[in-house]
């Protein structure tokens, strides 16, 4: 089994009661409930950094901008010709 690391926090009594009640509704231990919710929200935060939504008009404009050829750029060509640091 992998090692675990503790996460400690202080909460207001009303927050404690709310978390306890929500965990009970789902028949989960409070710590498991908190970890599940926190991890799900952390994933959403990270996904928001990579994915975005656009309406039809905005997407069409975005797609058009992606199709426009790049101007000749010697520095960019030089950079892309070099191997990546992880290669």
User: Within a domain: residue 83?
Assistant: no
The size of the chain, in residues, is: 87
User: Within a domain: residue 5?
Assistant: no
User: Within a domain: residue 3?
Assistant: no
φ/ψ of residue 25, rounded to 5: -60, -35
User: Within a domain: residue 19?
Assistant: yes
pTM of the model: 0.56
By C-alpha distance, which of 7, 30, 2 is closest to 17?
Answer: 30
**Of residues 19 and 48, which shows the higher confidence score?**
19
User: Within a domain: residue 21?
Assistant: yes
Structural domain for 29, as ranges? 13-71
User: Within a domain: residue 79?
Assistant: no
Domain count for the chain: 1
Burial 34-55 (b: 16+ CB within 10 A, else e): beeeeeeeeeeeeeeeeeeeee
Q: Express each pLDDT in 23-41 by its tens digit.
A: 999 999 999 999 999 999 9
Instruction: Give the mean pLDDT of 6-19.
Output: 95
User: Within a domain: residue 18?
Assistant: yes
**Of residues 52 and 65, which shows the higher confidence score?**
65
């Amino acid at each position: 089994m992998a090692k675990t690391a503790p996460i400690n926090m202080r909460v207001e009594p009303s927050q404690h009661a709310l978390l306890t009640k929500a965990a009970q509704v789902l028949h989960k231990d409070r710590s498991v409930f908190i970890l599940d919710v926190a991890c799900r929200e952390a994933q959403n935060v990270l996904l928001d950094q990579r994915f975005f939504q656009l309406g039809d008009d905005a997407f069409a404009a975005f797609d058009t901008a992606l199709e426009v050829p790049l101007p000749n750029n010697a520095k960019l060509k030089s950079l892309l010709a070099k191997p990546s640091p992880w290669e």
